[in-house]
Amino acid sequence: MNAYEEYMKQLAMPMRTELTNQGFKSLETAEAVADYFNDVADDKTTFVVINSVCGCAAGLARPAAVTVAQQNDHKPEESVTVFAGQDREATELMRQYIGQVPSSPSMALFKGTELKFFMPREHIEGRPIEEICMDIKEAFDEHCQ
């Protein structure tokens, strides 16, 4: 690992742990993403956060994801995360499962391997956090029962 990669890894560590400390499982390799989706039951709900070092991830995406995942009555059975720019192969494969234009940060909700909800960066950046939380809550309420 070169000095730049090590620096970026250290820089991203607290941003990664902001989610993992709240119960999100970090999928850091393509193999971990593939294993997860190969083993997931068809009716199991999974909330995915594609994490990023940008300001909208720090001030909006991660706080909204954690708040709704902790406080909503209806919750997904699993919450996982990949880190764009850090877990490159894992993020690339996760984006293939999502099947949308690459976007980070972003959030998705799956039932089995079927995408039920996707929130790209353009629906995060510049919006009030309350609106982001409500969009996530509505997806959870509809698909996590």
Enzyme catalytic residues? 54, 56
Q: In sequence order, what E strands does 17-113 have?
A: 25-26, 45-51, 78-83, 106-111
CA 11 to chain CA mean position, Å: 19
Between the alpha carbon of residue 118 and those of residues 48, 50, 55, 86, 103, the distances in Å are 9, 11, 20, 21, 10
Partners of residue 80 on adjacent β-strands: 25, 48
